[in-house]
Chain A
């Protein structure tokens, strides 16, 4: 069971993520969008959406630091475990609260504004369940283990996460982890696997290149468009 959860599932998640992204890019570039609902309702979104997105970006940075910066590194810089814990507790909780507040307002808006709710697909609803569960459980796990120096996940979860990337998953490290953290990790993996198949895919089109390209874009006609075009599906000619 331990091997399945912490040795196999992470790789399944990774494959689903990468294959999904490739599939989406190859076959559904037209559907790759934020599907913004701002034209329906702008006032609440202008508050809630930046709150949620900036919050979740900060949370993401926190996860990257927590999981991929070993304790020994922070130790060398002179950050004690206690300082680190306090920083992660207060910083993380603040960011988490902003995120939760943002998504709560977004969900409230989505449910109460009729055009927005009408534009919500079943796929979106499933995604929201997983997303909210991941965020809330993460906060719950952190806050229930916050007394004293808190739970030191940098001794267990972080090395396990790093061991995944060296292709030698140390699943035993995860065996003794508190259940709440385990559930959070599992839902987190579900969320990662869902990204390419939901609207969350828009996170992979962060337009960083905008900073470097010239303002005006010119394109020339594709010379391949001049010749015979491939027949449309369902309209192929017969040989007769």
Chain B
């Protein structure tokens, strides 16, 4: 056993109202820069829908994730090492920016500077790629709330798969049947195919907390990670020529704060916590033969922090005590392993994703209420979950590689929770057969209710700080670092770079400096011409 700790996330899709606050705050914090205009580390998709980038789930096209070779061993779907290096000069499976969407701004200046005329001046959309006027045809949420679903809905790869099993009767009503929102960030997988795809070795998984990051100094822009990630959550910064991705807000997580997307989530649907897993078992679990066994296999990789043997092994492996304690209180561990209501997104990619989802019961309740039934009656709900085949099959394509068993079990637990808690709130005697039907105790259901419905801040986010384990070293670091004679002109003479003062690599924060100047120019300039986000000081002016 080789225990490791991972900061993981669970999202309760029942509570997502699709407000995109997580996307916007994430964008403001991380990707509000040139070269990253089209990038959303966090995005919210309406399902059924094509997603972002369009049809990213169609792995026959984009070749993301892992697959099994003839001997049953894991191999990258986009090809192994030799094939990667032989094809390094171009990457046919790389999505273009237009597969995400072409980023644009507006010609706002025209609103104030247009000459007097008969027509109202308009702000034309201007492409941020080539600086020319453009026609907006797609964006990150073009099909939000099923917009254009009759035209675009057919392109959803998961709908295609679910339809293969669905009857003709519902086929044409698919888009009207149900809808839910799917917020997505990087999955910080246990078996990350982006890391495995990186020829430079610039991508890595942090041993302490499992966060997957890109070393910006080592990335050489080969773009294999973008293809390798089946969730398309590694992005290419087209200005710096480097890959960038969701960092799980590690500077916040390290000091015990939740990620920006979690902190600002209006629906309070995100949960963050530690999950302990056995690194030795990951490869075997990721290579089980049947795709439908992958969910159970991944559950088998997780370790139970209540087990004394596990705690002992964690101690031996150098996992700090407070991390193991955090794992015991972890809401993520509870929702995944204890209550088993959270499910992984697309386990069939064999990357062992670590952002899990509680499937939405609301579409079922709504459908039931609309037909005049009591949407919270346990008997009605249990029946409806099964009779509304399409939501179940569609959800199963997303979360369990098509196996409806775990999805039904999860939805039934949520339904049981609604029925049980309604009885309590109405002062009725709770029916003991309701918890029994889903194999839970009344007490467990009430605990789950507290976690899912009350969802207190300190229950949702149980994040141990990174530095506690290093507290001793931090104490020592209060002493001055290095030799006290090592100042400029002193006997040590190590104060400056080799070419005098201010030379050398003093951790110059390129991006903040650039943003600082850009913002200052924008705030103080009278003329907006040279401060548009696309104006590139180094680029040559466009020839007429």
Tell whether A and B belong to one assembly: yes
Q: Report the Cα distance A122→B538, complex, angstroms.
A: 8
Q: In the complex, which residues of chain A have a beta carbon less than 8 angstroms from the beta carbon of B89?
A: 49-50, 52-54
Q: Does the CB pair B222–A34 fall under 8 Å?
A: yes
Q: Does the CB pair B509–A218 fall under 8 Å?
A: no
Q: Does the CB pair A219–B206 fall under 8 Å?
A: yes
Q: Is A78 an interface residue (CB 8 A)?
A: no
Q: Report the Cα distance A34→B221, complex, angstroms.
A: 6
Q: Does the CB pair B481–A46 fall under 8 Å?
A: no
Q: A114-B132, A207-B222 are in contact. Are A38 and B94 (CB under 8 A)?
A: yes
Please give me the residue from chain B that is nearest to A111 by CB atom: B543
Q: Is A233 an interface residue (CB 8 A)?
A: yes
Instruction: Kindly identify which residue among A39, A213, A215, A219 contacts B94, using a CB–CB cutoff of 8 Å.
Output: A39
Q: Is B131 an interface residue (CB 8 A)?
A: yes
Q: Report the Cα distance A228→B479, complex, angstroms.
A: 9
Chain A positions 3-55 with a Cβ under 8 Å from a chain B Cβ: 26-27, 29-30, 32-42, 45-46, 49-50, 52-54
Instruction: Kindly identify which residue among A46, A119, A213 contacts B201, using a CB–CB cutoff of 8 Å.
Output: A213
Q: Is A240 an interface residue (CB 8 A)?
A: no
Q: A30-B240, A119-B238, A226-B477 are in contact. Are A38 and B90 (CB under 8 A)?
A: yes
Q: Does the CB pair B96–A39 fall under 8 Å?
A: yes
Q: Does the CB pair A228–B477 fall under 8 Å?
A: yes
Q: Does the CB pair B473–A34 fall under 8 Å?
A: no
Q: Is B173 an interface residue (CB 8 A)?
A: no
Instruction: Kindly identify which residue among A36, A117, A227 contacts B473, using a CB–CB cutoff of 8 Å.
Output: A227
Residues 51-71 of chain B: 1 if any A CB is under 8 Å from the residue's CB, otherwise 0? 000000000000000000000
Q: Does the CB pair B506–A39 fall under 8 Å?
A: no
Q: Does the CB pair A29–B218 fall under 8 Å?
A: yes
Q: Does the CB pair A35–B196 fall under 8 Å?
A: no
Q: Report the Cα distance A216→B190, complex, angstroms.
A: 10
Q: How many residues of B contact A (CB 8 A)?
A: 68
Q: A216-B196, A221-B208, A226-B467 are in contact. Are A49 and B220 (CB under 8 A)?
A: no
Residues 211-240 of chain A: 1 if any B CB is under 8 Å from the residue's CB, otherwise 0? 101011111110100111110110000000
Q: Is A121 an interface residue (CB 8 A)?
A: yes
Q: Does the CB pair A232–B507 fall under 8 Å?
A: yes
Q: Report the Cα distance A32→B220, complex, angstroms.
A: 6
Q: Is B91 an interface residue (CB 8 A)?
A: yes
Interface size for chain A: under 10, 10 to 19, 20 to 34, or 35 or more residues? Answer: 35 or more
Please give me the residue from chain A that is nearest to B210 by CB atom: A218
Residues 127-138 of chain B: 1 if any A CB is under 8 Å from the residue's CB, otherwise 0? 101111000000
Chain B positions 29-83 with a Cβ under 8 Å from a chain A Cβ: 81-82
Q: Report the Cα distance A232→B241, complex, angstroms.
A: 24
Of A34, A50, A120, the most chain B CB neighbours within 10 A belong to A34
Q: Does the CB pair A210–B204 fall under 8 Å?
A: no
Chain B positions 81-130 with a Cβ under 8 Å from a chain A Cβ: 81-82, 84-85, 87-92, 94-97, 127, 129-130
Q: In the complex, which residues of chain A have a beta carbon less than 8 angstroms from the beta carbon of B470?
A: 223, 226
Of A38, A50, A54, A119, the most chain B CB neighbours within 10 A belong to A38
Q: Does the CB pair B129–A118 fall under 8 Å?
A: yes
Q: In the complex, which residues of chain B have a beta carbon less than 8 angstroms from the beta carbon of A207?
A: 85, 88, 199-201, 220, 222
Q: Is B474 an interface residue (CB 8 A)?
A: yes
Q: In the complex, which residues of chain A have a beta carbon less than 8 angstroms from the beta carbon of B216?
A: 30
Q: Is B180 an interface residue (CB 8 A)?
A: no
Residues 121-144 of chain A: 1 if any B CB is under 8 Å from the residue's CB, otherwise 0? 110010000000000000000000
Q: Is B483 an interface residue (CB 8 A)?
A: no
Q: Does the CB pair A49–B90 fall under 8 Å?
A: yes
Q: A209-B201, A210-B199 are in contact. Are A114 and B129 (CB under 8 A)?
A: yes
Q: A40-B238, A114-B129, A216-B192 are in contact. Are A232 and B208 (CB under 8 A)?
A: no
Q: In the complex, which residues of chain B have a beta carbon less than 8 angstroms from the beta carbon of A32?
A: 220
Q: Is B508 an interface residue (CB 8 A)?
A: yes
Q: Is A75 an interface residue (CB 8 A)?
A: no
Other than the given A119-B239, A211-B82, A218-B206, 5 more pairs (CB < 8 A) read: A115-B130, A202-B220, A207-B222, A218-B205, A227-B481
- The 8 A-B residue pairs with the shortest CB-CB distance in the complex, in nearest-first order: A227-B477, A207-B199, A114-B130, A215-B196, A35-B241, A33-B241, A115-B129, A33-B221
What would 12 A/B residue contacts be, using CB atoms closer than 8 Å?
Answer: A32-B220, A37-B238, A45-B90, A50-B87, A50-B89, A205-B220, A207-B88, A215-B196, A219-B204, A220-B208, A226-B474, A233-B508
